[in-house]
Amino acid sequence: MSTRRYTDEENRFIMEVYPGRTRAETLALFNGRFSPPITENGLKQKCLRLGVAKKMPKRGQTFTRNGYACVKTGNKNKPIRQMQALIWEKANGEIPDGHAVIFLDGNRSNFSLENLALVSRAELAYMNRNNLRSPNPDITRLGVALARSHCALGKYFREKLGMKIDKFVEKEKRRIKRKGQI
């Protein structure tokens, strides 16, 4: 197996393009411009060697059993916070109660803002139940939109009709069946 030698132009390109973009975006841009193409892992290693990789702070850093990076905040109310929540709050303000920040590409070490999304716990539960997450951020965004519309529809049914969607559907099936339309 041979080691790829990067040209100065390729190194400059990575150092200029990678900050502010996801690894997948940088990889697509790099492979579209240079040949031979590189893998995502190859790009990751090159970024580490060039010193442009998105690194997490070492001091006070810990990980949950599920692999989420956490930091000690020194705040008595929330002494340990998930890294993605802190990054989201720094850019967008406080996270409302009952909401969570998710990684659109599923990579728990990709903390770029383009890779983070705020969802309600109900939307997150719907996404998990219906397997609406993907390594492709665009597909996960569609899953978020679907979960939001489903939760909004459920809220409408509960508030306006006083029942859940599935009960409404069953009730309508019985009504239609009585009329002989099925």
DSSP 35-51: SS---HHHHHHHHHHHT
Same domain, 85 and 129: yes
> In the predicted model, what is the mean pLDDT of residues 175-181?
77
Residue 150's CATH number? 3.90.75
Asked, for residue 170, whether it belongs to a domain, the answer is no
Distances (CA, A) of 89 to 71, 82, 101: 14, 11, 10
pLDDT band at 56 (very low <50, low <70, confident <90, very high): very low
Residue 23: burial class (beta carbons within 10 Å; 0-12, 13-18, 19+): buried
- What are residue 116's DSSP bridge partners? 103
- For residues 66 and 73, the answer to whether their CB atoms sit within 8 Å is no
Residue 109 scores a pLDDT above 70? yes
Task: Name the packing angle between helices 137-156 and 121-129 (round to 10°).
Answer: 110
Residue 78 scores a pLDDT above 80? no
CA–chain centroid gap for 150, Å, is: 19
Query: What is the reported pLDDT for 54?
Result: 57
Containing domain of residue 12, as a range? Answer: 8-50
Give the residue among 149, 148, 95, 93 at the shortest CA–CA distance from 118: 95
Same domain, 41 and 71: no
pLDDT band at 130 (very low <50, low <70, confident <90, very high): very high
How far is Cα 127 from Cα 164, in angstroms, rounded to an integer? Answer: 18
Same domain, 67 and 156: yes
Domain tally for the chain?
A: 2
pLDDT one-digit tens code per residue, 18-50: 877 778 888 999 999 998 999 988 888 888 888
Residue 53 scores a pLDDT above 80? no
How far is Cα 11 from Cα 31, in angstroms, rounded to an integer? Answer: 13
Same domain, 19 and 104: no
